[in-house]
Structure 1
Amino acid sequence: MPQLIPFYFLNQLSFAFLTLIGLVYVFSKYILPLFTFQQVIRLYITKLSNR
């Protein structure tokens, strides 16, 4: 059934695109701010320990 091949690739492409959008959203909303907060805390700890 070669007539179904374009629909298969379109399904793969749309699933990959939605997965990429979901990953970008989760990383930007939940994971990356935690790393930024962790770096700020480390900076404050080193500044306080150098006094």
Structure 2
Amino acid sequence: MPQLIPFYFVNQFSFSFLVLACLIYIFSKYVLPLNIFQQTIRMYITKLSNKS
């Protein structure tokens, strides 16, 4: 049925936009702050190990 093709693409586009928005939120809220925290901990550990 060719009349359903536009609805298929709209559904696919809206679902991909929703997934992209969820991924951006999850990365900015949970993943990236932990990564920054880990990098600062590594920096402090290397500074403390170089002093001794």
Q: Normalization by structure 1: what TM-score?
A: 0.97
Consecutive unaligned residues of structure 1, counting only runs of 5 or more, are none
Runs of 4+ in 1 over 2 A off after TM superposition: none
Q: 1:11 aligns to what?
A: 11
- C-alpha displacement at 1:48, in angstroms? 0.5
Count of residue pairs brought into register by the alignment: 51
Query: What do you get for the CA RMSD once the two structures are aligned?
Result: 0.4
Consecutive unaligned residues of structure 2, counting only runs of 5 or more, are none
Q: Normalization by structure 2: what TM-score?
A: 0.96
Same amino acid, percent of matched pairs: 73
